[in-house]
Amino acid sequence: MEISSASMAGLAALAVAWLWIWRFLKWVWLKPKILESRLRRQGLVGTHYTPLVGDVRRNFSMIKEARSKPINLTDDITPRVLPFPLTMLKTHGKTFFTWLGPIPAITITNPEQIKEVFNKVYDFEKPHTFPLARLIATGLANYDGDKWAKHRKIINPAFHLEKIKNMVPAFYQSCSEIVGEWERLVSDKGSSCEVDVWPWLVNMTADVISRTAFGSSYREGQRIFQLQAELAQLIVQAFRKAYIPGWRYLPTKSNRRMKEIDREIRAILSGIIGKREKAREGPNNDLLGILLESNSGQSKGNGMSLEEVMEECKLFYFAGQETTSVLLVWTMVLLSQHQDWQARAREEVMQVLGDKKPDMDSLNQLKVITMIFYEVLRLYPPVVQLNRAVHKEQKLGDLTLPSGVHLSLPIMLIQRDTELWGSDAGEFKPERFKDGISKATRNQVSFLPFGWGPRICIGQNFALIEAKMALALILQRFSFELSPTYIHAPYTVVTIHPQFGAHLVLHKL
């Protein structure tokens, strides 16, 4: 019997359709159920799988509910910031799994397990659940394996202390401009004035990164960062629909705008880099200059491409700007609430600096301020949670983690755990850091605002020195307290923001 070409085509189409249906069913049902049974057989507890969406909807509705009302200053902030993980922790205990769409995510809080995950950078990789996030920046923070190791090696010199020392004048310039603006606002009103410090601090850290990343091309740098901020907002909105397959390819207004922004950022960046390479200027003290210099010192084939250098520059902004403004804003809120610590910090600044301009050496002498920053980073870690993906079966303590699961490391919950930090874990007590981090943690991996291990934040010294510069200049000129209009409402938009700003009253000293 002969089969016509039309029926052959029909059979082929049917086979392709079945293949797709099979793949879809495997992705949305079979694989999650197999993984779930492997986890439960080991005694792990967790939520039951809802096809496709998992716990995403429940997570979002709990976040929406939590954000609908502010809290009191003395309330625990975790139910507002991480309502779903906290509820799960209370229901299931310290190790459990939930569902990120069809992917099981195992939450771990045990310091020994966390140490192992952070140390084994080749086994526990960065998850790439939301391809849209790559539009923000890929770069070091998103690479794995040998590519990560190569980029980390090239970028490391840019963050050495002697290089940061050269950036201190740029920190001073950006911070003193903002503090000068505050002085004008206060003078206009007499000697005190209410200021929402949050947008000012955001501008301050954006300005610092534009200056330190791009030096002479500072204005173009500013434009890039404005565009990146707009892109981030669009992407945060899109995350909610990101689990719908193919959503990001639809020509919606926001998808089109995201592509436009991406093109403009690339054009400006390649212009700046091209100019630098052509001019063959002497050594530059900005991050881009150090990066290009370190890159050119690599043997052939081991350097970064132009595209990769651009990604790293975009990443500096995302990784470094928002996190540092978040550290500063919660420091100002907590020092408003704890006037005794504000007074101790000012006393130290006056003793070390008087009214002199801070430099690297004097900033390094600010011990009370370091303790305060650590305590703020413990209670309000800008990055509240980190995630890793398992691509090959792995052992972790007693657990056997099958390929395809994720790990969630809830930094904020770990850093507020009373079993690890004592019954006063929720209280602001910077003195716990008086003998350093290892004493405060009793050498456990329980303080991880910058992550831990080989992938620890490359910019942590940069961030702490910048934040010290900002706080020293503020304390030299003002005392501050919470305004009666201040509303306490921490919430996460990638990092922990103050939902209604940070309205403080500044008093000129």
Listed residue (134, 355, 362, 390) closest to 262, CA to CA: 134
Owner of token pair 């992917």 = 103
- Residue 313 makes contact with ligand HEM by CB under 6 A: no
Choose the binding region for ligand HEM from 29-37, 330-338, 349-357, 445-453 (rule: CB under 6 A): 445-453
Site mask, ligand HEM, residues 265-304, x = CB under 6 A?
Answer: ----------------------------------------
- Measured CA to CA, the distance from residue 135 to residue 258 in angstroms comes to 8
Nearest residue (CB) to ligand HEM, 368 versus 496: 496
Minimum CB separation of residue 213 from ligand HEM in Å reads 8
Q: How many helices (H) and strands (E) does the chain have?
A: 21, 13
Minimum CB separation of residue 295 from ligand HEM in Å reads 15
Question: Among residues 81, 117, 135, 140, which is the contact residue for ligand HEM, using CB under 6 A?
Answer: 140
What residues contact 247, with CB distance under 8 A and at least 6 apart?
Answer: 238, 241
Judging by DSSP bridges, how do beta strands 192-196 and 503-508 pair with one another?
A: antiparallel
Site mask, ligand HEM, residues 151-190, x = CB under 6 A?
Answer: -x--------------------------------------
Task: Answer yes or no: are the C-beta atoms of 509 and 479 closer than 8 Å.
Answer: yes
- Dmax of the chain from CA atoms? 99
Residues counted in the chain: 509
- Measured CA to CA, the distance from residue 123 to residue 69 in angstroms comes to 41
223: three-class secondary structure by DSSP: helix
- Residue 451 makes contact with ligand HEM by CB under 6 A: yes
- Residue 382 makes contact with ligand HEM by CB under 6 A: yes
- Residue 324 makes contact with ligand HEM by CB under 6 A: yes
Q: What is the DSSP letter of 248?
A: G
- Residue 455 makes contact with ligand HEM by CB under 6 A: yes
- Residue 384 makes contact with ligand HEM by CB under 6 A: no
For residue 278, the tally of other CB atoms under 10 A from its CB is 8
Nearest residue (CB) to ligand HEM, 193 versus 235: 235
The strands making up 192-196's β-sheet, listed across from edge to edge, are 192-196, 503-508, 478-482
Nearest residue (CB) to ligand HEM, 134 versus 152: 152
Minimum CB separation of residue 206 from ligand HEM in Å reads 12
Direct distance between the N- and C-terminal alpha carbons of the chain, in angstroms, rounded to an integer: 99
DSSP letters, 138-171, are: -SGGG--HHHHHHHHHHHGGGGSHHHHHHHHHHH
Judging by DSSP bridges, how do beta strands 103-107 and 96-100 pair with one another?
A: antiparallel
Question: Among residues 106, 304, 315, 504, which is the contact residue for ligand HEM, using CB under 6 A?
Answer: 315
- Residue 390 makes contact with ligand HEM by CB under 6 A: no
Instruction: Find the helix or strand (DSSP H, E) in which 501 lies.
Output: none
- Residue 450 makes contact with ligand HEM by CB under 6 A: yes
- Residue 92 makes contact with ligand HEM by CB under 6 A: no
Nearest residue (CB) to ligand HEM, 133 versus 505: 133
Residue 507 backbone dihedrals phi, psi, to 5 degrees:
-115, 130
Minimum CB separation of residue 445 from ligand HEM in Å reads 12
Minimum CB separation of residue 395 from ligand HEM in Å reads 21
- Residue 457 makes contact with ligand HEM by CB under 6 A: yes
Minimum CB separation of residue 187 from ligand HEM in Å reads 31
Number of residues that bind ligand HEM (CB under 6 A): 22
Choose the binding region for ligand HEM from 77-85, 259-267, 419-427, 443-451 (rule: CB under 6 A): 443-451
Task: Answer yes or no: are the C-beta atoms of 508 and 477 closer than 8 Å.
Answer: yes
Question: Among residues 198, 214, 225, 316, which is the contact residue for ligand HEM, using CB under 6 A?
Answer: 316
Lookup: tokens for 88: 């799960």
Give the binding site for ligand HEM (CB under 6 A). Answer: 140-141, 152, 315-316, 319-320, 323-324, 327, 382-383, 386, 449-451, 455, 457-459, 462-463
